Structure formats: C-alpha cells, structure tokens
Structure 1
Amino acid sequence: MGNVALAQVTTVNGTVTDGKSGKPISSVSVLFTGTNYGVTTDEEGHFTIAANASYHKITITHMGYSSRTLDIKPAQEQQVNVVLQQNSQQLNEVRVVSAKKKKYSNKNNPAVELIRQVIAHKKQNQPESYKHIEYRQYERMVFSLSNLSDQFKNRRIFKNYQFLFREQDSTNIGGKNLLPIYMEEKLSNNFYRKSPFAKKQVIEASKQVTYDEKFVDNQGLTTYFNRMYQDINIYDNNISLLSNQLLSPISDNAPNLYKFFITDTLKEQSPQLIELSFTPRNTNNMLFEGKIYITMDGNFAVQNALLTVNKNINLNFVREMEATLSFEKNPDGRFHLSQSDLKVEFAINKDKGGGVFGERVVTLKNYKINAPRPDEIYNGPALVTAPNAATKDDAYWVNNRPDTLDANTAGIYKNIDSLQTIPSFRRTMDIATLVLAGYKSFGWFEVGPVNTFYSFNPVEGFRPRLGGRTTTALSKRYYFETYGAYGVNDEKFKYFLSTTYSINNKSIYSFPQHYVRASFQHDTKIPGQELQFVQESSLLLSFKRGNNDQWLYNDLFKLDYVHEYQNHFSYAFGFKKWGQSPAGALHFDNLLPDGTLNPVNRINTTELSLELRYAPKEKFYQGKLYRTPIPDKYPIFTMRYNQGVKALFGGEYNYQNVTANVTKRFYLSNYGFTDVSAEGGYLFGKVPFPLLDIHRANQSYAFQLQSFNLMNFQEFVSDRYASITMDHNFNGYIFNKIPLLKKLKLREVVNFKALWGGIRAENDPQNDPSLLRFPTNADGVPTTYALTNGAYIEGSVGISNIFKILRVDMVKRFTYLSNPDAPEWGARVFIKFDF
C-alpha cells in the first residue's frame, strides 16, 4: 500500500473487480496519471493511493484487461470502485493477413529485438544485483479435488460431507465445484546479503491441515507440494515447475525456441509498457506460452507476466496451468516481485472428469533495498522456524495476513478436522493405506506389508510370510517390528524381530530420526542383491531370469544408532554380528594343506561401522516403508567405514572397508536431465569371497537404476572398485520433433553403467588355497570372477512415459560376454509416475 501523508492529500480508496465475474482482481496497477507513483491491489482487489499533491486522474491497468483512466477530485479523499473488462485479444487469436503468408523469422523482427534488450538487461534487473534485500513474505497453498459434477457432489456417499464443498465461477481453473483437501500458510521475514553471500528465511508463523499420521506423512506432504510449487523467478534461465525445468521466455536462448509478437502498447502507463506475447516454436517442448509486459524506460524490466503451457506440452497429468507475476517499483525506479499466483489443475484425462487443483499465492511486503542488518541476522542456517510458529491463534492470522480469506477458504482447517472424525472417512483412509502402503492398522499394531505375504524362490519354494509393527498409538518412544516366514521346500522357519527406542520422542518414521535399534534376523539372502524401494520377499521379485539357486542363510544381530539433523547431515554407528551359511547350490569350500577339499558350513564376522551422510536441501516423502526422494539438483554424499574385528564375539576376520558415494541430478534445460552416481570402495585385509564387495546385480525383469541389469548375482567380486552410473532423460526432446510420435508424449532415455575393480593377490583363492573357492555351477564351471579384463560395461536406450507411467529399456552388455549364462541383450521395465 502507499504511505498516506499526514498533510492534506489526494487520496483514492477503491476496489477493482472483473466485469464478467464480478470478482475482485489482485495485483492491479493503480497510478496517478502521468507519474511514476502507484500501488497495486491486494487479494480482495482493494487499493489506497495517496499523495501530497493535486492530481486529477488515475490510471488502472492489469495484464489481460483493457486499461482505464478515471477523473478524480484533487486534494480530497474519495471512494472509486473500478470495473475492468477482459481484453478480448488472446494470443491464439493473433493473425497476420497478407497476400502471401510470411514465415516467422527472428531477423528484422522488432519483438525479437525487444526480447534481446530484456535479456541484455537481466543482470541489472535481478534482485540479487542489490547488496542487501529484506522483505516480509506470506504464502498460501490450497489443494482441492476439482471439476466435480453436481451429480458427483450429490452422491449418497457425500451426504454428510456437503459442508466441505466450495463453489466458484465455472470458467475458472478447476471448474465449478471444488472439494478442499489441504491448505497451509506461512509468514516469514527474509534477508539477503550479496557479499559475503547469505540468504536466510525466518518463518514467524505456520499453519497447515494435518491428517492422522498413521495415514499420511504430513511433513513429507508439505515438502512434496512445496517442491512442485516452487518460487518462480522469470529472470532465471530455467524455471522449476512440477519437478521439471521449463525454459524461461527471457532466458539467454529464448529467441531460438520461442516465437515473440508485440501485441499491444500501453502508453497511458508510466513508464510505458509493451505487451509481448510468446509461444513455443514446438508446442510439445517443455516451454511456456503467455504474455510479459516490458517497461520502456530504459530498464527493459518485466512489470507483469502471465505464464501458461500449451495443451500439447509433454507434461503429464497437467490439465491447465497459469502463473501470474506482478512487480512493484522500487525507489530507484527498478522493479521487484510483489506477488505470484501459481495455479495448476492435474487430471488423468485432460479433457474431462475430475482432477486435483492446487494454488500457491505468494505476497511480498515491506520490501527494503540496501539496508544492511547486523551480521547475526544473516548468520546461521538458511531456514529458521520460530519455536512458537505453529501455535499462532486465529486472531494473529487475521491481523497479519496481507489479505482477507473468504469464509470457505478460512473454514478449510476446521472442515478437515471435522472430516477426520467421521467413521466412513476413516474407513476409506484405512482401505487406501492398505492398497497404497500395504499396511492394515489395528490401532497400536499394523499388519504388513501385504506384498510380502506370498513369494517363491528356487531354494525355499513357496514362502508364506506374515508380519507387522507397532504404531505411535502404543508409544512414541518404543517400536517393535516382527515377521515370520516358512520355506516349503527347505522346510525351515525364518523370522525377524527388532525393537527401537526413539531418543527425540518422535516417530522413527519421521524426519529427523534419532534412535537406537536392536534387531535379529534369521533368513535367506541372495548375495549381491541390493534393493531400493522394494523388499526382498516381494512377490514381484519372485520372477527372475537365468539361474538363481545360490543363496545364503543369514543369522544377523545388529545394533544401530542413527542421528539426523535438520540440515540433512546424519551419522550412524553400527554393531553387527553376522553368520553366513551356504544355501541352495552355493557351497563354501577351501583346500586343506594336503589338498583335500574341505566344506565350510559357516563363516562368522563381527563388525563395527560408521556412516556419514550429507544431503543438502534434500526433500522426500516418508512412506510406511521407504523414503521416496523428490529429485532436485543438490548432491548427496555418503561415506561408510566398516571394521571387522577378529575374536570379538566369535568374529573370524580382521578387515577394514571404506566406501564413498556421490549422486547428483544435472538439469540441462530443454535437453532434459541427467542423474549421475559415482562410487568407489577399498577393502583392507585378507577375507573370503563372501566378505568382498559383491557388486550389485539384477536378475529380475525390472529395470533398476542402481544395479547392473545384465550382471548375474554374485558374478563379480572386488576388494577395490570404482563405478559410475549415468541416466539421461531427454523429456521428449527428440520425439517431440517426429510427427507420428509427438502426439504419444513419449520420452527418450539412455543409461550407461561402468564398473572397474580387482582383487589383490592375498584375496585370490588361486594364490591362497585356504581361502574359500569361488562358486561354480553344477558342471564345475566358475560363476564368480574378478574384474581382470577391464571394466564391466552395460548401457541401454529406452522409451519412457508409456501410458504416463511405464519405462521400457533395451539393455546391452558390452563386456565379459564369455562368462557362463551372461546375457548380451535384455528388455527391462520400470514403473514410475512422472510429471
């Protein structure tokens, strides 16, 4: 709002509304005509503009609306309500009429020359060009089931839920009927310092809808939504949206990928504005379309922007998207972002049916530039939450929100709380948790996961299993987990039991974790199989290619201490007493000094371990079993140290094993993104082959990103190794240019994996017969090898986004093809939901 002078002034109060819907319009520019002095309307369309001078006119402008200039009474206070009519000129209605259709070209194109000026002035218009910035930020995010028909709303099942529904203008994104399911608000103070660099957000107040934690990870839900709805900085070359990156219309490369048109000139504005419309050259690419308004005062700054996406874009589940950005003028004549409003409607069917509508509104107030603060303001963590942030009462929010919530929106918190007390809703959530997470709750105990109740393998045959764990309904300090299984073929029982003590009195399945756990497991294991986001007893893993009959019986006692921090650094200490016995076709044999073959029934180790992990700005959703990562550009570093101790609790070997891993996603703008993982390890000491690094192999038909998909289980072992994995997703960059393919919205992927390794002479059983011999098949042919002939290499090309959820890769193995049962080619499938 403008500052009201204490002397007699010209003051105008009013409200700006839409001429069609009658609804208030936010972020409308209101100026005293012929001056640079102006304000913008708030969320309710209200404005107050005042100055110690005699002005006779005000000018009202807003993107997508016809501008208006109105007479006012000078040196008086008055009320003026303004109705704006939508500008009928839409981007897809721009026509060029001539005797011969002119091909679009950047050459001698005034629109392109203008955008090049905008690009040339980006650096000076970036907020980071100031030495210091300070502002107060309010953000609100609301998610609703959308586009619901009256028939759906009036179904019998919703008889008791009518209080939840909201109505809006049917022409708005989301349709007429909405059913809110989530809302959150934050108020924060933000500080930026250019040198030495510091950026800090202090959350003063926060409020969100919370569900019963046995159904939903509320913290993860908030993280997931905020990752999808990130801040939009139009001056960045790439704008993150829904876990993808879209090229900004004012990126350095924009003239080569966008078409630009000058569609209006707003001369009554001060400064004058040029309305610049843009559209992708290829409407399937990850690009925006819309309009930006450029100041013609020499700064070539963006004053307003409307960003949408073309209906043909290769972006999954997005029915409509609209981002509105508004900028206010600083005292030095430059502009800063004052409000952004991002609306997205998701749906399986883009043309009809219900969906999910989400909106995030961000308002910046009290913007200060080059007003330095003491160093202690900038020091410390980048994100700080006040201890009492979540306890602010309704009166606080009414007094501190920059806008006023309508009754329907303000009632969402109370309505969702009421919803969760209705028995039918709780039964529905219980069923959904069973289907999606695999657990059925019985209060203090939940049974699952259901996908492990039935499986089979060559050693055990049919393997029924039943298990479960306690919940916070029993205790927030103590947790117990167990399962029992039985192998019909080997006629052996398997079991697991663990007890966990939460040191921070929080659920051990919530972040940050801080607990001590003791566990014992007597079960089977495939050497070299390391799984992500799926359990070894899953029914889906029962189906495997090739020979899969060399297994282990494990007796494993573990004692773990895990401590995570808010900055996503963690460390873990571990103690492990491990007994391994061969199962199935696997044998442990060595040679006695007289050359006699000696079967070894069991090897025993006692191990101490330390793991350090740092994942700056990591985001994830905590499910019932696993943390599902939300991909981002930040790297993840992991280091592990394992120390085998001979003679401690029966340990038979001394050794040290060091492993380091780093993973990172690289965004390559319009060319997609690449996930890279590099790992290396070194084992010191003399050990038998089961204690060497058995490289991650995959004999299932599912494509696994972190395993070698054409390597057989236990095929390669090393005491020193290095590996790299690269997985690149082109996001349809190539297929979008092929007429018959671009309508299918398919995406191209390529994958490359390489592994270098070796075994020192002291760990090679050919040099030392006392070591366990490498396994062989039924014909006596070795099936386990060292990497003595260079790197193991495999690669794949694939098609993803099949039916929006399926990826199929054709994988080729390039080296060690002469090994027994070594496949050269294979097709693998991967199920993943991507936007």
Structure 2
Amino acid sequence: MFAQTTVVSGTVTDASNKQPMPFVTVAFAGTTIGAPTNNDGKFNISTDGVVKQIKVSFLGYKDVFLPVKQGVTQEINVRLVPVANQLNEVVVTSGKKPKYRNKDNPAVELIRKVIENKEKNRPESYPYVEYKEYDKMQFSLSNVSPTLADKKFFRKYAFVINNRDSTTVPGKSLLPIFLNEKVSQYYYRKSPEKEKTVILGEKNVNFGGSVDSEGLGAYFKHMYYKVDIYDNTVFLMTNNFLSPIANSSPTFYKFFITDTVAFKNTKLIELSFTPRNTADMLFVGKLYITLDGNYAVEKVELNINKNINLNFVNSMKVNQEFEQNPDGRFHLSKSTTLADFGFTKNKKGGLFGIRTITYGNYEVNKQRPDTTYQNQELAESDEVKHRSEQFWEQNRLDTLSIAESKVYKNVDSLRNMPSFRRTMDIATLVLAGYKGFGGFELGPANTFYSFNPVEGFKLRLGGRTTPELSKRYYFETYGAYGFKDERFKYFLSATYSLNNKSIYKFPQDYIRVSTQYDTHIPGANLQFVQEDNFLLSFKRGQNDKYLYDRNYNFDYVHEFESHFSYHLSLKRLTQAPAGSLYFLNTVGDNTSNVVKDLTTTEVGLSLRYAPKEQFYQGKIYRTPIPSKYPVFSLDYTAGLKNVLGSAYGYQNLHLQMDKRFYLSYLGYADVTVEGAKTFGQVPYPLLDIFRANQTYAYDIYSYNLMNFLEFVGDHYASINIDQHFVGFFFNKIPLLKKLKWREVASFKAIYGGLSDQNNPALHPSLYQFPVSATGQPITYALGNTPYVEGSVGIENIFKFVRIDLVRRFTYLDHPDVSKMGIRARVKFDF
C-alpha cells in the first residue's frame, strides 16, 4: 500500500587480483535502472519498483545475478570472474622498431586493392537499386546521478529521471530526452541517373512551441551525417574526415594486417589503421576486407582520434555492417554513429547521441516504370507525421530499448508541466532575446537600446506573433524614439501564409505587406529590422551620414519542393538625407539645388535555387545548414518613373553564387562570387553602394576596412573567400594544439566602376558625391584597380571567439581610412 524504496550499494572487484573495477554496469535485472561503478569500483542504485535481483556485467567477465531484499537499504559486494583462463607468463624482448614504409608493405597493397575496387562495390554500380531505410536519432543525458530524483527540486521530474538505460552503451547510464524516427523508401536508377526518396512515416518528440523538434532533428542529423565509407571524405560534426579508403589514404594513414576473422560465415582480413599525424582530421579503427576477389568492406569500425581539434566531443565512433547480395557483392545493412558530448573531458556527464540507420528489403537490378523516379516529395504530409503505433511496429527495421519507448510519453507529460514551460520561457529570452506571452513575443532584447550620432540615445520596443496564435496570420512591429533628432520611428508588417504552414517552414508560400520609417546608413548591410543592435552602436571613424527611409512594401514568396523559389516585390521608398549627408545638384544656369528627398517605386523578381538545402528551423526563424551544394540567386529590379511619385526609371540585375568547398584535411572554404549592373541614369543613392563596415565586428559579407559610402558604382564583380583550416597548422604546435585554436584567412576583392552617364562630374543634374566638412571627397568610383582586403586570424578562442587582423591593400590614399585593423566575431563550432 505504501511505496517502498530498494537501495543497493557496494563495491565490485576483480576476483583474480581483488582490485576495484570501474565502469562495471550494475542494474536491477529486467529494468533499465542501473549505473556504472566509479573509479573506486563503488556503486549505488535505487528503485521504488518491484525487483528481485541485480545484474552485474562487464566485457570479458562472467555476468553475476544476485538476489536483493525488497524495500530495504542493503550493501552487496561483488567479485567478478574473467571468462577466459589466465595466460601463462609471456616474455617480451625489446628491439629496434622498424620504420613504417608503404613500399613492399602487404597492408598497403591490400588497401590499394580496396581502393581500386571501390566503384564496383558501391550501390551506384548497379543499374537499379531500391531499399527501405529506418533512421533513428536519439539524444540522452549521460551518467545522471541516480539520487537526483530524490532531491526536492527534481522529485516532480522523477518519472523522466528514472527512465535510464545502462545496457545499450557499456559504462554509460543514458537518460533519453530526444527521439526521432523516420521510415522511407529509396529508389535509384543509373541511366538516366535519377533517385527518389518517399517518406513513409516520421515521429518526433514534442517539447512544445519553444523548441522546434523537427528542426532540432535536422540539425542533429547534419552533425551525424550519413557515412559512406567509399567516399573520399566522411562528413561528421560539421568537419570533413579523410576516409581510410580514400584515394590518397596511404599517404596519411598507416595500415597493418592484424588478424583473419570470421564474420557472418565469411572469412575476412582485419586491417587496422592509424593516422601518421595524430592531429589531422583522421580516424583510428579497423576494416574487415573480403577474400573473394571483390576486396569489399564487410565491416568497419571508425573512431575519431582523441587528439584532433574538436569542441565538446569527448569521443565518437561509427560502426557499419554489410550484407551480401545474390551476386556476391555487399551492401550496407546497418550504420551506427555514437558521440559523447561534454564541456569538459572528465566524462562525468553530458550528452550522448546515437544515430542508427538500418537498411532492409534491399533489391538490385529491379527495373521500375519511369513514374517511380518522378515527383520527388521532400515535405512530409500530416498523415506521414501521425502514423499509428501499428504502423511503427510493422515498419521499424530495428527495435526501441525500454527507455526509448517511454520517451514520447514522458516528454508529453513534461511539456504540460507549468514549471517546465517557465524554464523554456527563460531559456528563449536568454538565447533568442524574446519573452513569450501566449501567441505574442516581446523582443529582441538586444535592440531595446542603442545610440548613433544622428538619433542620439534610441529606445525601441517591439514584438511578433507566433504560430501558437495562428499558422496563417503573422504580425511584426516595433516603435522607436531618438532623443537627439526627436523623431518617432516604426515598423509594421502583416503576413498571410497561403499553404497553411508556418512561414518559417519549408516550403514557404506567403504574401506580406509592410511599412517602415527609420534611419539607415548608406552602404551598411545590416539585417532587416535588426539595425538597432546595441553592439553595432560602436563604430570607428566618422559616422554621421544617414538616411531617413519611409517605405511601403508588398512581397510574395513561393518555394518549390525542388528548392527553387521566386520572390515578387513592389516597393515605394522615400529617402531623405540626415546628419551631415545632403542631396545637392545643379539646375539651370549652374544654380545649386538642395533636394529634400528622393522617391522611387520599384518592382522586383528574385529567383533562387539551393539544391538539397536543409534548415535548422526554430519556432519562428530558420537558418540554412551549410552543405557542399551551391546556392544560386538572380535578382532583377525595375524602377518605374512617374508611378506613385517615382522620379527615375532604371533596371538593376544582380547575380550571386555561394558555395562551401570541403578541402579534406585543409578544412573548408566559403566562396561567394557576385556581379551586378545598373541600366539607366540615376543619382548615387540608387547606384550600388558597396557594402562597408565601420563596426569592430568582423562581417563575412562586407568590406571591413571600407568606410560607409566610400565606393559607389553602376557595375561590379566581386569574390569573397573565407578559408577555415580547422587547426591544420596549429595542431602541429604543442601549445596551440592544447589551446585548440584554429587558423582562418580571408580574401575579398571587388572590381567595378561608374559609367559616364552616372558620373555627377559629367552630369551636374545628378546628385553630387558627398564631401567632408573641409570639402575633401569621401565618395569615389572604382578605377582600374579593384578594392582588395584580406585577413588572417584565429578562431575557436574559448570555443566561440574569432579574431582577425585585417589588411587593406588598395586605395590607401583616401581620407580617414585604416590600413589595418583588428576585428572580432562570435560563432560556436564543433
């Protein structure tokens, strides 16, 4: 009638030498409640359930089952007996270790055979391939104290804390908190090449509105990318590792034939490998190679080398198994990726993630109709997301542990607890800067206060609605006031989703109307509605040339499943100079004329193609996840003269390509190439004002030593390269290796100019370029020399700070420019 707690503690020792044994798993038999022993071999476990025995297990030792007394505190000491008999004495003599060589090395000859046969052992070597895929992604808290649920604050969460699993990973007590399952059917045709994935079902834990579980799952899977051992590189934890069977692997790995083993009734050669340089992005592990002449991999064990420069990752390994096809070749049947995360290396606690992908119903050379490979469906329907339990029981190609099977129900219960909701609200305020009030959020907090020379102290208050209020209607607004210019500013937008999905979800399909009156720095490329970020208030040099912008916008955005999208826009903008900026031209007989403001009406069309793009999607935001695929964009803008008071007619065309290049052990490079051309005669505010940056923050897409409004043009081409070496050089220097700093370098160049028709020196009716208070020019057109700047820097300082030494190479004779400068940036990386 009353709950009785059974508590068992004790010490586990080795029966042969009586030494305490750490990391031994001790659990109540038939449950997932247990814990590993500590460094002194001691353990303490407890439960309120009905139990009869404890089970003590450790690799290489006989399992022990011992009875326990129900409802009492007791001490049980255990001695484990090794499974194998003790070996006789072995005498090892020292000798000169032979130098490792590739030449005449049978292990290297074997790996070269594997490399030669890579293509025929890949699924793409068949004319047709199809299979079912079950993808399970699980995250757990590791080694949570078994007594935590007894503490007063956590008692209400005991149903979550006690759902631990101490059997899946030896030496780890796991408390699952996140689970994502997906079942899909895959089809591949070689000629003409086509592939299609049909998602049959997907299931996520649901933490409520504060956390987007789908987006979280997409981000986790990006870190735990699918491993193809036959690729030259393996992408894990946002880094590229050189595969042990890459074409160049004998140059970077040492290989050793260590054994001949039997696996699934097949005789295999065990080929061990280790990095030549332990600081490089390489693996340690074993390959099991077939002896049938195909030189296929039937099993692989990959471990991340503990010496490499990774943040928050204590350990990580990948295990893969392959099954034989009827023709004797092999296909991947199961892939398991495990990673142990923590802020420290003490391994006492942290996060533990497991992604298991199981493949079934594998068929090759089965021809399907052309319609099978058409109409790729990437977005899941509501039916797919709400499959029955019977569906999952029939379609899971793997099993859930007892602890995993309880996660969905536990998180549902947790989500409905007021204390949990309050905690998530605080986390949202700290991390995202917003405070929720039901279907409305107040923020962002970093824009509440800012300052600049024109407005002085500026206070701003705003917010936005959330999908909790409506999935179709969204509103965003703010009001701001400058105490120096004594003007009120505002922004208001209303958005309507046409596909009844959140406008922050892929694929987007919405219309938006908005109006705004606020200040703007010509040439600044700050995020929309984020101009007032407090940290951006600090700027170098002269910064008193502003614009008052009053605009009215209409936008329609439509994304397709293929990741092609278009954006139609209509915009009316009135720009008025502020601060020391002015609009001045010459009319009639050399009469100077001060222009109060400039009004334009524009229509625009933007096309974008981002193949296989994925997002980390929050509740009301989304961030693209970098990948190896390029992103192309084309923007066309037309100014409509005499429409809604517009003073000029013109056209602008802009092209851009962004791509991340993964360079194996040399890290990766983010490259942006773009060009633009303006057609028609317009004053300088309507030209391309090149992106400048006078803050002390390093901006990836701006020129960090260019002054605001320094360069304008009606045509240009540019390239931007941001190279991350991820510790390739520093890892070879002991002190820097210990600090885990990483090298970074950038190169930026823009070449362009100003045609005669837009040169105010040749056409006085155009606005004159601004000059300083002493009459010195501050705005220029590029000449025959491009603007060039570069930087070298260190990132991963304290695991999130990047500092660059930036050098400007051209146009050093311009007034008030800096030849060199130090800039900082905050970014979290693995």
Asked if structure 1 preserves the Cα contact closer than 8 Å seen for 2:466 and 2:620, the reply is: no
CA deviation after TM superposition for structure 1 residue 391, in Å: 2.2
Structure 2 SS opposite 1:227? helix
Q: 2:282 aligns with which of 282, 287, 302?
A: 287
Asked if structure 2 preserves the Cα contact closer than 8 Å seen for 1:200 and 1:383, the reply is: no
CA deviation after TM superposition for structure 1 residue 334, in Å: 1.2
Which deviations, in whole Å up to 9, do the C-alpha atoms of 1:377-416 show, x marking residues without a partner? 1223274756622221112211222233232211111111
Structure 1 SS opposite 2:780? coil
Which deviations, in whole Å up to 9, do the C-alpha atoms of 1:582-617 show, x marking residues without a partner? 111111111232223221110111111111111111
Q: 1:790 aligns with which of 776, 785, 798?
A: 785
Instruction: State the TM-score, normalizing by the size of structure 1.
Output: 0.87
Q: 1:141 aligns with which of 124, 137, 143?
A: 137
Looking at structure 2, the residues matched to 243 and 88 of structure 1 have their Cα atoms a distance apart, in angstroms, of: 45
Asked if structure 1 preserves the Cα contact closer than 8 Å seen for 2:314 and 2:347, the reply is: no
**Structure 1, 416-425 or 119-128: larger mean CA deviation:** 119-128
Structure 1 SS opposite 2:739? coil
CA deviation after TM superposition for structure 1 residue 702, in Å: 0.9
Match of 1:755 in 2: 750
CA deviation after TM superposition for structure 1 residue 287, in Å: 0.9
CA deviation after TM superposition for structure 1 residue 709, in Å: 0.6
CA deviation after TM superposition for structure 1 residue 319, in Å: 1.1
Q: 1:269 to 1:519 in 2, by over 3 A?
A: closer
Asked if structure 2 preserves the Cα contact closer than 8 Å seen for 1:134 and 1:192, the reply is: yes
Percent of pairs with identical residues: 56
Match of 2:72 in 1: none
Looking at structure 1, the residues matched to 369 and 168 of structure 2 have their Cα atoms a distance apart, in angstroms, of: 50
**Structure 1, 405-414 or 779-788: larger mean CA deviation:** 405-414
Which deviations, in whole Å up to 9, do the C-alpha atoms of 1:680-723 show, x marking residues without a partner? 11101111100000111111111111111111111100111111
Q: 1:168 to 1:333 in 2, by over 3 A?
A: same
Looking at structure 1, the residues matched to 282 and 228 of structure 2 have their Cα atoms a distance apart, in angstroms, of: 15
Q: 1:619 aligns with which of 609, 614, 619?
A: 614
Match of 1:692 in 2: 687
Match of 1:192 in 2: 188
Q: Specify the code of the residue in structure 1 equivalent to 2:508.
A: Q
Q: 1:167 aligns with which of 160, 164, 180?
A: 164
CA deviation after TM superposition for structure 1 residue 350, in Å: 2.3
Asked if structure 1 preserves the Cα contact closer than 8 Å seen for 2:313 and 2:342, the reply is: yes
Looking at structure 2, the residues matched to 420 and 815 of structure 1 have their Cα atoms a distance apart, in angstroms, of: 58
Looking at structure 2, the residues matched to 594 and 116 of structure 1 have their Cα atoms a distance apart, in angstroms, of: 83
Match of 1:208 in 2: 204
Does residue 265 of the first structure (1) align with residue 260 of the second (2)? yes
Q: 1:225 to 1:449 in 2, by over 3 A?
A: same
Q: 1:611 to 1:384 in 2, by over 3 A?
A: closer
Match of 2:585 in 1: 590
Structure 1: runs of 5 or more not aligned = 1-19, 24-63, 67-84, 90-94
Match of 1:80 in 2: none
Structure 2 SS opposite 1:116? helix
CA deviation after TM superposition for structure 1 residue 152, in Å: 4.4
Does residue 243 of the first structure (1) align with residue 238 of the second (2)? yes
Looking at structure 1, the residues matched to 379 and 479 of structure 2 have their Cα atoms a distance apart, in angstroms, of: 45
Q: Specify the code of the residue in structure 1 equivalent to 2:193.
A: F
**Structure 1, 778-787 or 735-744: larger mean CA deviation:** 735-744
Q: 2:466 aligns with which of 448, 459, 471?
A: 471
Looking at structure 2, the residues matched to 88 and 634 of structure 1 have their Cα atoms a distance apart, in angstroms, of: 56
Asked if structure 1 preserves the Cα contact closer than 8 Å seen for 2:149 and 2:157, the reply is: no
Looking at structure 1, the residues matched to 379 and 566 of structure 2 have their Cα atoms a distance apart, in angstroms, of: 22
Looking at structure 1, the residues matched to 120 and 328 of structure 2 have their Cα atoms a distance apart, in angstroms, of: 12
Which deviations, in whole Å up to 9, do the C-alpha atoms of 1:757-795 show, x marking residues without a partner? 111111111001111100111111111110024200001
Asked if structure 1 preserves the Cα contact closer than 8 Å seen for 2:377 and 2:561, the reply is: no
Asked if structure 2 preserves the Cα contact closer than 8 Å seen for 1:286 and 1:315, the reply is: no
CA deviation after TM superposition for structure 1 residue 174, in Å: 8.0
Looking at structure 2, the residues matched to 168 and 442 of structure 1 have their Cα atoms a distance apart, in angstroms, of: 37
Q: Specify the code of the residue in structure 1 equivalent to 2:273.
A: F
Looking at structure 2, the residues matched to 65 and 235 of structure 1 have their Cα atoms a distance apart, in angstroms, of: 33
Q: 1:632 aligns with which of 627, 651, 665?
A: 627
Match of 2:152 in 1: 156
**Structure 1, 268-277 or 228-237: larger mean CA deviation:** 268-277
Which deviations, in whole Å up to 9, do the C-alpha atoms of 1:134-169 show, x marking residues without a partner? 111111111122232335454433211121133333
Looking at structure 2, the residues matched to 477 and 748 of structure 1 have their Cα atoms a distance apart, in angstroms, of: 46
Asked if structure 2 preserves the Cα contact closer than 8 Å seen for 1:437 and 1:623, the reply is: no
Asked if structure 2 preserves the Cα contact closer than 8 Å seen for 1:192 and 1:198, the reply is: yes
Instruction: State the TM-score, normalizing by the size of structure 2.
Output: 0.87
Q: Specify the code of the residue in structure 1 equivalent to 2:140.
A: S
Looking at structure 2, the residues matched to 670 and 534 of structure 1 have their Cα atoms a distance apart, in angstroms, of: 39
Asked if structure 2 preserves the Cα contact closer than 8 Å seen for 1:220 and 1:622, the reply is: yes
Q: 1:173 to 1:805 in 2, by over 3 A?
A: farther
Which deviations, in whole Å up to 9, do the C-alpha atoms of 1:463-490 show, x marking residues without a partner? 0110112223332222221111111111
Q: Specify the code of the residue in structure 1 equivalent to 2:509.
A: H
Looking at structure 2, the residues matched to 814 and 591 of structure 1 have their Cα atoms a distance apart, in angstroms, of: 36
Q: 1:739 aligns with which of 734, 754, 766?
A: 734
Which deviations, in whole Å up to 9, do the C-alpha atoms of 1:95-149 show, x marking residues without a partner? 9964212222222322222212211221221121111111111111111222323
1:666-705 → structure 2 map (5 Å cutoff): 666-705=661-700
Asked if structure 1 preserves the Cα contact closer than 8 Å seen for 2:288 and 2:299, the reply is: yes
Match of 2:34 in 1: none
Q: Specify the code of the residue in structure 2 equivalent to 1:834.
A: D
Which deviations, in whole Å up to 9, do the C-alpha atoms of 1:32-81 show, x marking residues without a partner? xxxxxxxxxxxxxxxxxxxxxxxxxxxxxxxx999xxxxxxxxxxxxxxx
Q: Specify the code of the residue in structure 2 equivalent to 1:536.
A: E
Q: 1:294 to 1:534 in 2, by over 3 A?
A: farther
Q: Specify the code of the residue in structure 2 equivalent to 1:256.
A: T
Match of 1:82 in 2: none
Q: 1:272 to 1:230 in 2, by over 3 A?
A: same
Q: Specify the code of the residue in structure 2 equivalent to 1:167.
A: R
Which deviations, in whole Å up to 9, do the C-alpha atoms of 1:271-301 show, x marking residues without a partner? 4211111111122211111111111121111
Match of 1:480 in 2: 475
Match of 2:772 in 1: 777
Looking at structure 1, the residues matched to 263 and 459 of structure 2 have their Cα atoms a distance apart, in angstroms, of: 77
CA deviation after TM superposition for structure 1 residue 346, in Å: 1.5
Q: 1:533 to 1:299 in 2, by over 3 A?
A: farther
1:456-535 → structure 2 map (5 Å cutoff): 456-532=451-527, 535=530
Q: 1:152 to 1:717 in 2, by over 3 A?
A: farther
Q: 1:226 aligns with which of 221, 228, 248?
A: 221
**Structure 1, 565-574 or 820-829: larger mean CA deviation:** 565-574
Match of 1:656 in 2: 651
Match of 2:119 in 1: 123
Structure 2 SS opposite 1:357? strand
Asked if structure 1 preserves the Cα contact closer than 8 Å seen for 2:25 and 2:170, the reply is: no
What is the number of residues matched between the two proteins? 753
Structure 2 SS opposite 1:742? helix
CA RMSD after TM alignment? 2.4
Looking at structure 2, the residues matched to 96 and 339 of structure 1 have their Cα atoms a distance apart, in angstroms, of: 40
Which deviations, in whole Å up to 9, do the C-alpha atoms of 1:505-541 show, x marking residues without a partner? 2222222221111111111000111125982100010
Q: 2:177 aligns with which of 147, 163, 181?
A: 181
Asked if structure 1 preserves the Cα contact closer than 8 Å seen for 2:198 and 2:376, the reply is: no
Q: 1:113 to 1:489 in 2, by over 3 A?
A: same
Match of 1:390 in 2: 385
Asked if structure 2 preserves the Cα contact closer than 8 Å seen for 1:146 and 1:174, the reply is: no
CA deviation after TM superposition for structure 1 residue 86, in Å: 9.7
**Structure 1, 148-157 or 491-500: larger mean CA deviation:** 148-157
1:794-813 → structure 2 map (5 Å cutoff): 794-813=789-808
**Structure 1, 683-692 or 627-636: larger mean CA deviation:** 627-636
Looking at structure 1, the residues matched to 764 and 788 of structure 2 have their Cα atoms a distance apart, in angstroms, of: 30
